[in-house]
A and B are shown apart, each in its own frame.
Chain A
């Protein structure tokens, strides 16, 4: 069974704080990991990809990958109300087929 697990939340953080979103996956052989942001009523949009252990930074976003622990996370620094959305973790487990978590709902409180 291929699984991607996320805490569904809701996660609430004050504006300016760091939001931490977590994801675990079942397939130890997975090589590609992605974070998508989905606003209510909209389709998911890709915000980060990570392939190697360690951290990858892009602006206020940092993705962290630990393949030994089968764990990937997303940190959002200086959180803004516009970051309020559902964040989906996706893992490439078989060829180009991705498995998605059910998403974590984030609310940034002004």
Chain B
């Protein structure tokens, strides 16, 4: 089974901090994605990547950036955390038959 590992389950950060969320997959998938999930809004795509050093903006990229230096690792960066970025962040990896999600990081910005 594909395993997608997110480095932190819970994070609390202060407003203005730079935040790094790490995601690693172990199945050599080319496609990786970052979503945030908020009540009533569902899953919203932040950024995605189809290859190393490649990135594409999703529906809500503002305030975020990403890095993909190695095929297995896709990092989400909050340049200057704000309270409206408090959310559940989900990383996903895919080949052709659906996504596999990581366990999620619940980020609280205070």
State whether the Cβ of A46 lies closer than 8 Å to any Cβ in chain B. yes
State whether the Cβ of A69 lies closer than 8 Å to any Cβ in chain B. no
Selected contact of B42 from candidates A42, A95, A103, CB within 8 Å: A103
Q: Name which residue of chain B comes closest to A51, CB basis.
A: B97
Q: Is the CB of A43 within 8 A of B101?
A: yes
Count class of interface residues, chain A: 10 to 19
Q: Is the CB of A100 within 8 A of B94?
A: no
Q: Is the CB of A98 within 8 A of B97?
A: no
At the interface, is chain A mostly helix, strand, loop or mixed?
Answer: strand
Chain B residues near A96 (CB, 8 Å)? 31, 50, 94, 96
Q: Is the CB of A100 within 8 A of B42?
A: yes
Interface members, chain A 58-110 (any B CB < 8 Å): 88, 90, 95-98, 100-103
Query: Interface digits, B28-66 against A, CB 8 Å rule (1 contact, 0 not)?
Result: 000101000000111101001010000000100000000
Selected contact of A34 from candidates B42, B45, B98, B102, CB within 8 Å: B98
Among A43, A45, A101, residue most surrounded by chain B Cβ atoms (within 10 Å)? A43
Using CB atoms and an 8 Å cutoff, list the residues of chain B in contact with chain A: 31, 33, 40-43, 45, 48, 50, 58, 90, 94, 96-104
